[in-house]
Amino acid sequence: MARTVTLIPGDGIGPEVTGSAKEVIAALGVDIEWEIAEAGESVMEKEGTPLPETVLESIRRNKVALKGPLTTPVGTGFRSVNVALRKELDLYANIRPALSLPGLDLPYKDIDILLFRENTEDLYAGVEHMVGKHAAESIKIITREGTERICRMAFEYSRDQGRRHVTVVHKANIMKYTDGLFREVFYEVAKDYENDFEEIDERIVDNMAMQLVMKPNLYDVLVCPNLYGDILSDLCAGLTGGLGVAPGANIGEDIALFEPVHGSAPKYAGQNRANPLATLLSAKNMLYYLGYNEAADRMQKAINAALKNPETRTKDLGGSAGTREFTRAIVANLG
Ligand code: NAD
């Protein structure tokens, strides 16, 4: 029986990159039926909201979704649909792997970092306001419950993957209450996993940024509050080939939403320029989540083969192919 999955095509380059994922999954022969749910800028004009209730209903019903990027206006306009989705569905963990891929000419090889970003609290809770006309305040929220569940998921998941080293990232030297609580709860949870890892340690976020640029191979699993996780995961994406290759997953109690880390890159929309790899790798991780392990392995092999040939790589990776040509090459490599 087909497994129904919600598909949010998204804004800008979203329909092209999610279209690529649909094509590759169809070629793999995985029996997935896509339930299309439109959200974002285009829907705002038609329905007066960028996140219609039907989208949330579809995800709640199917429990699994693949999502293209959604545009958020800067400064004014509607609030981020991405943040709203994570909050409404309580997708408290954002998992962002950074893995070196074959064929790319980059300063570092063999990077394999798994970053866990807390997804619902911190400065992203959206509690901000003007104080008079010339000042603004934003409230940073860190709770014991919110921290405990992201830390526990990070340890459980990393242990199941056979990882050896977990690092908590914070700025508790300055933000003694908020980041102090995040650090404290991390070490409390860590007590249950002491025997499962060779190293459990901490880095202050500014030092972490420098270390990741200088010696990324020293790091394995990072656990971060929301804002630092957002920034450091883009840094890690940069180490492995840029936003075009960075996949992500938002996980809650029983719902999982897979999406690329990158945004809607409006300047590339409709031009066959976007690299669909971040979405393809997100879709591959979705296949693992759904238990289609053999198909996911085949997909990764076909991607690796397409990456080794500059003619089938996209322009952001030094190749000459467009979204469609890269997708076709992967499909051809499936054999
Ligand atoms: P962006 O990720 O859309 O683009 C930044 C740059 O990265 C682009 O100019 C492009 O050069 C490159 N890039 C990104 N994805 C690429 C791809 N697949 N292939 C090739 N090159 C790629 O970030 P931005 O310009 O800061 O944001 C644009 C919009 O996307 C904003 O409205 C922002 O709010 C939104 N956004 C959405 C998400 C999401 O849906 N999860 C994430 C980030 C940004």
DSSP code of residue 168: E
Is pLDDT above 70 for 307?
Answer: yes
pLDDT at res. 149: 98
CATH number, domain of 191, equals: 3.40.718.10
Mutate to test the pocket of ligand 1, among 17, 42, 51, 264 (most ligand atoms within 8 A of CB): 264
Is pLDDT above 90 for 153?
Answer: yes
pLDDT at res. 11: 96
Q: Would the CB of 247 count as within 6 Å of ligand 1? A: no
Same domain, 155 and 199: yes
Of the listed 192, 201, 206, 254, which one is catalytic? 206
267 carries an active-site annotation: no
Q: Would the CB of 230 count as within 6 Å of ligand 1? A: no
pLDDT at res. 74: 67
pLDDT at res. 79: 75
Q: Is residue 136 part of a domain?
A: yes
Same domain, 41 and 120: no
pLDDT at res. 73: 73
268 carries an active-site annotation: no
pLDDT tier at 163, thresholds 50, 70, 90: very high
Tokens of 208: 């972490």
Domain that residue 38 falls in = 1-95+243-334
Q: Would the CB of 259 count as within 6 Å of ligand 1? A: yes
Place of tokens 């076709």: 328
3-state secondary structure of 192: helix
Same domain, 247 and 235: no
Report how far residue 243's alpha carbon sits from residue 316's, in angstroms, rounded to the nearest whole number.
9
The structural domain count of the chain equals: 2
Give the mean pLDDT of 156-180.
Answer: 97
Report how far residue 257's alpha carbon sits from residue 63's, in angstroms, rounded to the nearest whole number.
8
Under 8 Å between Cβ of 125 and 178: no
pLDDT tens-digit readout, 232-267:
999 999 999 999 999 999 999 999 999 999 999 999
Mutate to test the pocket of ligand 1, among 262, 268, 281, 315 (most ligand atoms within 8 A of CB): 262
Distances (CA, A) of 23 to 28, 240, 281, 292, 323: 9, 25, 14, 16, 12
Ligand 1 atom closest to 13 (CA): 18
Report how far residue 123's alpha carbon sits from residue 307's, in angstroms, rounded to the nearest whole number.
38
Which strands, in side-by-side order, build the sheet including 256-260?
32-36, 3-8, 64-67, 256-260, 247-251, 93-99, 112-118, 221-224, 165-170, 199-204
Q: Would the CB of 316 count as within 6 Å of ligand 1? A: yes
179 carries an active-site annotation: no
288 carries an active-site annotation: no
Q: Mean pLDDT over all residues of the chain?
A: 95
298: part of which helix (H) or strand (E)?
helix 293-308
Tokens of 142: 């860190």
Give the mean pLDDT of 13-32.
Answer: 97
pLDDT tier at 126, thresholds 50, 70, 90: confident
Q: Is residue 100 part of a domain?
A: no
- The strand pair at 199-204 and 128-131 is best described as unpaired
Under 8 Å between Cβ of 100 and 295: no
Same domain, 235 and 169: yes
Assessment of whether the complete model's pTM goes beyond 0.80? yes
Under 8 Å between Cβ of 248 and 119: no
Give the mean pLDDT of 37-52.
Answer: 90
Q: Would the CB of 72 count as within 6 Å of ligand 1? A: yes
| Domain end call among 239, 266, 281 | 239
Taking the alpha carbons of 185, 186, 192, 195 in that order, is the dihedral positive or negative? negative
| CA-nearest residue, atom 24 of ligand 1 | 263
Give the mean pLDDT of 128-150.
Answer: 97
Same domain, 226 and 116: yes
For ligand 1, the distance from its centroid to the CA atom of residue 258, given in whole angstroms, is 16
* Distance separating the N- and C-terminal Cα atoms of the chain: 24
Is pLDDT above 80 for 77?
Answer: no
Q: Would the CB of 71 count as within 6 Å of ligand 1? A: yes
Q: Is residue 138 part of a domain?
A: yes
pLDDT at res. 167: 98
For ligand 1, the distance from its centroid to the CA atom of residue 152, given in whole angstroms, is 30
What is the share, in percent, of the chain residues with pLDDT greater than 70?
99
pLDDT at res. 257: 98
pLDDT at res. 119: 94
pLDDT tier at 78, thresholds 50, 70, 90: low
Is pLDDT above 70 for 143?
Answer: yes
Q: Is residue 102 part of a domain?
A: no
Q: Which residues contact 137 (CB under 8 A, 6 or more apart)?
A: 128, 129, 130, 131
Q: Would the CB of 265 count as within 6 Å of ligand 1? A: yes
Is pLDDT above 70 for 33?
Answer: yes
